[in-house]
Structure 1
Amino acid sequence: MIYPFTKQDSTVDHYFSHTIADPYRWLEDDRSTETEAWVANQNKVTFDALSHIDFRDDIRDLIATGQDYKKTSQPFKRGDYTYFYQNDGLQNQSVLYRSKEEGEFEVFLNPNTFSEEGTTSLGSVSFSKDASLVAYSISEAGSDWRKIFVLNTETKEQIESPIVDAKFTDISWLGSKGFYYSSYDKPTGSELSARTDQHKLYFHEIGKPQSQDEIIFGSKEEEKHRYVSGYTTEDDAYLIITAATSTSGNKLFIERLGVNNPTRITVLAHTNSDTYVIENEDSQLLMFTNLDAPNGKVVSYNAITCDWKDIIPEQSQPLEVSAGGGTLFASYMVDVLSQVKQYDFSGNLLREIELPGKGQVTGFSGRREQTDLFFTFTNYVTPPTIYQFDAKTGCTELYLASASPFDNEKFESTQVFYTSKDGTRIPMIISHKKGIVLNGKNPTILYGYGGFNVSLTPSFSGVMASWLELGGIYAIPNIRGGGEYGKEWHNAGTQQKKQNVFDDFIAAAEYLIESGYTDSEHLAIRGGSNGGLLVGACMTQRPELFKVALPAVGVLDMLRYHTFTSGEGWAYDFGTSAQSEEMFNYLLDYSPVHNVKEGVEYPATLVTTADHDDRVVPAHSYKFISELQAKQLGENPVLIRIDVNAGHGAGMPISKSIDLMADVYAFTLSNMKVNPFE
């Protein structure tokens, strides 16, 4: 394999008593013609190599066929209409439909018309309290920067100029007067990579230009917060403001609305917990919090007396809470599987809800007066199935079965537990065809994340199902850093405990090999974003253990990640190289960009990223592949696939998603020397 030339310069950085070379710093300039040419040259080599895989087109056809069925979301009611999202099969973006009572369905918003290539996606959709207006956001080319449009819901006509340059924002209405949204000042330099660190909450009044939008929270006179959001209670009695300096923990403030000169009440002045308001009854605010309760609990907060009272005490499993039909739904993770209980607002148990099987459920939310709620059940081999739930009687009935062509009777998922390096017990779910022979030769993808309190719960993916149909095994361990066992599980994989995450993942690979599922010649590892870091760290620490490595949109330069966009907000999980010399040394010890060594044979590697990723900037991937191509020993190819006009992943058109995964699977199987069609 002849790789494109990548120049090295003499850039160095000084950290405490250390001097660190950064020869590929020039690739951080995402606007330069030099970087653009480098991207084109890398893609040329990569796509040429992929084009020589005989079964690549067959895999693409298989994935496309598996995705070509009608997919429908849970419905929700606003005003006189019932709304739902639907994709007829291979539409690049799902369409928002609506109907009135039992009338005909009509298209309400069709994001496939927003851009010719389907690269503009629909984000938040928020209706005014009387449902006469709707505000919706769009993302262009996958960027986190958003535009917000406002329509009259009856005529579907745009009523004013769009809000521009919103970012990391919800949209929350105050009656039909206007709405709250969040953004940063547009940075100097590249809007895709320049640092953004002061988030602001604005109120936009309908009929007024954006230049007159009032800053509600986050003005220059106030303390900087990287993440600020504001939302109103359903009765418009309170504005709830959350402010955070990192992705974990938030301050909480409330303001009484509808009164002259409202006073801002500080509910929590620190960021030692994740706390948010679920519902309210007049001045009683029902809140989720993990303050002094790592698994989470529900409390009542009196906005007048500022008293706290436990409503649903902490349990031994982590908790998520939703509200609908004037009740609360407590969803617990029991060894990663869902268990749901319904409570009244006083914390009295109404019932434990019988679920269709072992897996994940989402939903159980709606307006207070709405008693017919919906939830979706899924697991790794069960396509999403929607159920209707009566909040008064507890009766459940099938609402909509999946139209997926996947025959789940031929496949199975098994949960196992294995032991990590330090003795910690880790769960893992392994999915494959029934009757598979444990001969140690099965092509296997080990997928992981391990960070930011994110839980990998069982959910169906048509693309993953295609891997199973190809005869592959898909294994997903619930490693530390996630939220599967509450806040303590998350904290056990952060900062100077981050190595636990990599050890857990490596132990999962060793379990699969020792148990006869696969061997090192048939084992691939994959993960995206923080999961891309996971793959990069594990392949540089244990290169002999894996045949293929697939880091996607990964955080790979751990010394400089915090200098891009809002990256410094990830410091709760990672720490930063400027934090202390001890933290610098810890990061340097596992940073994938800095741990590629000369004379080592690394796994066959396909790095994937996108040129408009402004969450984890593509320079991470550019630098990592440059190090690999300069130092790789042996014949395993190390390539990078760079999507153009795409971002971190959200809103990617189905056509691009199918192309991407066809290339990932083809590359993986080709390097394992497996032709799945023979």
Structure 2
Amino acid sequence: MKVKSIFATAAVVFYVGANAQSMSKSNYPKAIKGSQTDNYFGTQVADPFRDLENDSEATKKWVDEEVAYSQNYLSKIPFRDQIKEQLRTIWNYEKISAPFKEGDYTYFSKNNGLQAQSVIYRTGLKTKDIEVFLDPNKFSEKGTTSLSNLSFNKKGTLAAYSISEGGSDWNKIIIIDAITKKQIDETIVDVKFSGIAWQGDEGFYYSSYDKPKEGTVLSGMTDKHKVYYHKLGTKQSEDQLIFGGEKTPRRYLTAGVSEDQRFLIVSGANATNGNELYIKDLKNGGDFVQINKGFDINANIVDTQGDDLFIFTDKDAPNMRLVKVSMKNPSPENWKDVIPETENVLGVSEGGGYFFATYMKDAIDIVKQFDKTGKLVRDISLPGKGNISGFGGKEKEKDIYYSFTNYITPGTIYKYNVDSGKSEVYQKPNVKFNPEDYVSEQVFYTSKDGTKVPMMINYKKGTKLNGKNPTILYSYGGFNISLQPAFSVVNAIWMENGGIYAVPNIRGGGEYGKKWHDAGTKQQKKNVFEDFIAAGEYLQSKGYASKEYMALSGRSNGGLLVGATMTMRPDLAKVAFPGVGVLDMLRYNKFTAGAGWSYDYGTAEDSKEMFEYLKSYSPVHQVKAGICYPSTMIITSDHDDRVVPAHSFKFGAELQEKQACSNPILLRIEKNAGHGAGRSTEQVIGENADLLSFALFEMGIKALKK
């Protein structure tokens, strides 16, 4: 990679000084402090910064002051602009998605390099002419309105797409003639957590909630999801309620139509784990048939064939299996294995008339192809050890696509022929990065309770393990989400210049199935933090890093991970980045869709024991006066209506008030952005430039190698 060095390694020439210490602890902006207390099972809990939950003028003023304070601090980092420019340089390469066919066109997305949003293009199957189909960069002046979803009817003649403004989860759906690209119906508004499922040429299904009261859009609870059918040419106010609402209250509802257009499938859930399945025969009529009752299992219909349903489930299979059942008698006791459970976690996709089974072994993917009877067709040869996505497509397509990546291999798209099993490179990004110059190694370390945990450690060849390598320790640990190897240009720059990027696959994730996930939930949640702490201790004991050169990083549930870790073990690292984190564990379920996270967390209302357990690690409640906490940059956005910014505001106010040393506590608040998805390229570059420069500056680096 031909870029100037961002920072020199400890063995070379940078100047080390007490940067944070030289900038004495300034007067942080003062948040309104009240006397609010709450009673939990006879225990009074103070919540002095409760006002920061409200979108009041006082809160807005405090936010503006925090933004100004942070920007002033960051502006004094001498190499901040240099890092931002180097990020722009490496980011500036063409990014193209795998193609997909709809009607008489092949569609794909492309970003020329630094465009705020990727553009949807299409090619005529006959003419081969390339034209712009949708350009989200024209949705807003600064590129902060993004494309959330795009769906076509079966003929490919109609399309509907949803947009997110400023990163909000509240979307709008715009309906167009796919041939002329002209809008043909009124815009559907107030849509949230929704797909777009076409039924024929007359309309589609979508999901939403009742809009919260004015002034609470970014924080009001959304707990009764509804599936509607919109018929083209009618007003949204006339849309038919298909499922949900008061009659069948569910917090999350997803509607889909089978590829053959015969079945309407609805998944209903009250939490992020466990769901019901309902199916309705659109061809022969009749009411919804409930496939499974209760929320003890996860189940998803991945394909239909005549009367047969293929269901991907963890029922009696913690590592997942694929089963088949007739829709005439679809209850779980009739499910028969097509692809049975194995010792490795299974993922299933369908394309070209086949099933593709992706097995995850120690966070690395293995792929096998099966026919619809469950007979193995072939083991698929992959480009290397890493993360695979794709292997999906329509029933009759013979060429489908998949992507391969790992921490040192930029994501490359391959075309795969389902009959021959032949793979060929379809699109390889032209990134200025040579994987041969790097090491990506997997180690296993022991957590506090003796559990073996895998971790990927990535760095440039020749790095000396002398404890002086700037190191980012990143993880997530929740909601059955697996952290698999994936390339990032930000991490590429970090490693190119001597940094180490380490990712432990801690409990709470899905790397080893349901048991691994459950081992990091509710009153076992501290296992997650102990796994993360043990990862940091391993890196320090083996010479990869030391406390003074380590930064903790995580987003969302990973923001909770960082917040809990830095309050449990403030001596573990020099720097902390809790990003868009769930940080008030006693009140997280009071905002937006937060109540749906209770499977992982439990709530303070469940029991006295659950309340006490949550409070014992809740970052907002575990900040203590007289403790020296790491140099911290709390990252959030003013339009985050998933993990509301009040979490970050309250945590930041507590830290700023109680910090016992000169390590700075900054709140980096992005304007016109949400939880993360849909941000403009410039917003992403800006945040990462601040993150990298702050980390290095607080680690004592005063100047970069020229």
TM range (shorter): over 0.9
Which residue of 1 is the match for residue 11 of structure 2?
none
Pick which of 521-530 and 469-478 moved more.
469-478
Contact 1:343 1:351 in 2 (8 A): yes
Which residue of 2 is the match for residue 459 of structure 1?
486
Matched, 1:600 2:627: yes
Which residue of 2 is the match for residue 677 of structure 1?
705
Which residue of 2 is the match for residue 258 of structure 1?
283
Which residue of 447, 472, 475 maps to 1:445? Answer: 472
Give SS of 2:228's match.
strand
Which residue of 1 is the match for residue 40 of structure 2?
15
Which residue of 2 is the match for residue 113 of structure 1?
138
Contact 1:523 1:547 in 2 (8 A): yes
**Relative contact order (alpha carbons < 8 A, sep ≥ 6): 1 or 2 greater?**
2
Cα distance in structure 2, aligned partners of 1:614 and 1:386: 33
Contact 1:137 1:149 in 2 (8 A): yes
Contact 1:506 1:538 in 2 (8 A): yes
Contact 2:31 2:59 in 1 (8 A): no
Give SS of 2:72's match.
helix
Which residue of 313, 320, 323 maps to 1:289? Answer: 313
Which residue of 235, 241, 245 maps to 1:219? Answer: 245
Which residue of 2 is the match for residue 537 of structure 1?
564
Which residue of 2 is the match for residue 311 of structure 1?
338
- Deviation at 1:130? 0.8
Matched, 1:275 2:299: yes
- Deviation at 1:7? 2.6
Which residue of 1 is the match for residue 83 of structure 2?
59
Give the letter for the 1:677 counterpart. K
Which residue of 319, 323, 347 maps to 1:320? Answer: 347
Give SS of 1:622's match.
helix
Pick which of 304-313 and 168-177 moved more.
304-313
Matched, 1:28 2:53: yes
Trace 1:601-616 onto structure 2 (pairs within 5 A).
601-616=628-643
Give the alignment's TM-score, normalised by structure 2. 0.95
Cα distance in structure 2, aligned partners of 1:106 and 1:293: 47
Per-residue deviation, residues 543-595 of structure 1 (Å, max 9, x unmatched): 01110000000000000000000100000000000010000000000000000
Cα distance in structure 1, aligned partners of 2:212 and 2:32: 28
Matched, 1:161 2:177: no
- Deviation at 1:676? 4.2
Give the letter for the 1:609 counterpart. T
Trace 1:333-412 onto structure 2 (pairs within 5 A).
333-412=360-439
Cα distance in structure 2, aligned partners of 1:471 and 1:436: 7
Give the letter for the 1:346 counterpart. T
Give the letter for the 2:67 counterpart. N
Cα distance in structure 1, aligned partners of 2:329 and 2:673: 50
- Deviation at 1:404? 1.3
Contact 2:32 2:58 in 1 (8 A): no
Contact 1:448 1:527 in 2 (8 A): yes
- Deviation at 1:608? 0.6
Contact 2:32 2:51 in 1 (8 A): no
- Percent identity (aligned): 52
Which residue of 472, 486, 493 maps to 2:513? Answer: 486
Give SS of 2:457's match.
strand
Which residue of 2 is the match for residue 74 of structure 1?
98
Which residue of 2 is the match for residue 99 of structure 1?
123
Which residue of 1 is the match for residue 254 of structure 2?
229
Give the ranges of 4+ consecutive aligned residues of structure 1 lying more than 2 Å apart after TM superposition: 674-678
Give the letter for the 2:346 counterpart. L
Give SS of 2:629's match.
coil
Give SS of 2:571's match.
helix
- Deviation at 1:207? 1.1
- Deviation at 1:295? 0.5
Give SS of 1:357's match.
coil
The alignment's C-alpha RMSD in Å is: 0.9
Matched, 1:144 2:169: yes
Contact 2:193 2:208 in 1 (8 A): yes
Contact 1:471 1:676 in 2 (8 A): no
Cα distance in structure 2, aligned partners of 1:677 and 1:71: 30
Give SS of 2:655's match.
helix
Contact 2:413 2:426 in 1 (8 A): yes
- Deviation at 1:66? 1.0
- Deviation at 1:470? 3.1
- Deviation at 1:263? 2.0
Per-residue deviation, residues 238-277 of structure 1 (Å, max 9, x unmatched): 11110000011100110000234x2211101111111111
Which residue of 2 is the match for residue 470 of structure 1?
497
Cα distance in structure 1, aligned partners of 2:225 and 2:494: 41
Which residue of 188, 199, 202 maps to 1:177? Answer: 202
Give structure 2 stretches of 5+ with no counterpart.
1-24
Per-residue deviation, residues 643-676 of structure 1 (Å, max 9, x unmatched): 1111000001010110111001111100001244
Cα distance in structure 2, aligned partners of 1:295 and 1:236: 30
Give the letter for the 1:100 counterpart. G
Contact 2:167 2:674 in 1 (8 A): yes
Trace 1:79-90 onto structure 2 (pairs within 5 A).
79-90=103-114
Give structure 1 stretches of 5+ with no counterpart.
none
Give SS of 2:462's match.
coil
Cα distance in structure 1, aligned partners of 2:245 and 2:57: 37
Cα distance in structure 2, aligned partners of 1:505 and 1:74: 35
Which residue of 1 is the match for residue 230 of structure 2?
204
Give SS of 1:545's match.
coil
Which residue of 31, 38, 49 maps to 1:6? Answer: 31
Matched, 1:561 2:588: yes
Cα distance in structure 2, aligned partners of 1:349 and 1:268: 28
Give the letter for the 1:362 counterpart. S
Give the letter for the 1:86 counterpart. K
- Deviation at 1:471? 2.0
Matched, 1:194 2:229: no
Contact 1:68 1:89 in 2 (8 A): yes
Per-residue deviation, residues 131-184 of structure 1 (Å, max 9, x unmatched): 110110000000000000111111000001111000001111111221111000
Cα distance in structure 2, aligned partners of 1:187 and 1:249: 26
Cα distance in structure 2, aligned partners of 1:353 and 1:126: 30
Contact 1:522 1:547 in 2 (8 A): yes
Which residue of 2 is the match for residue 503 of structure 1?
530
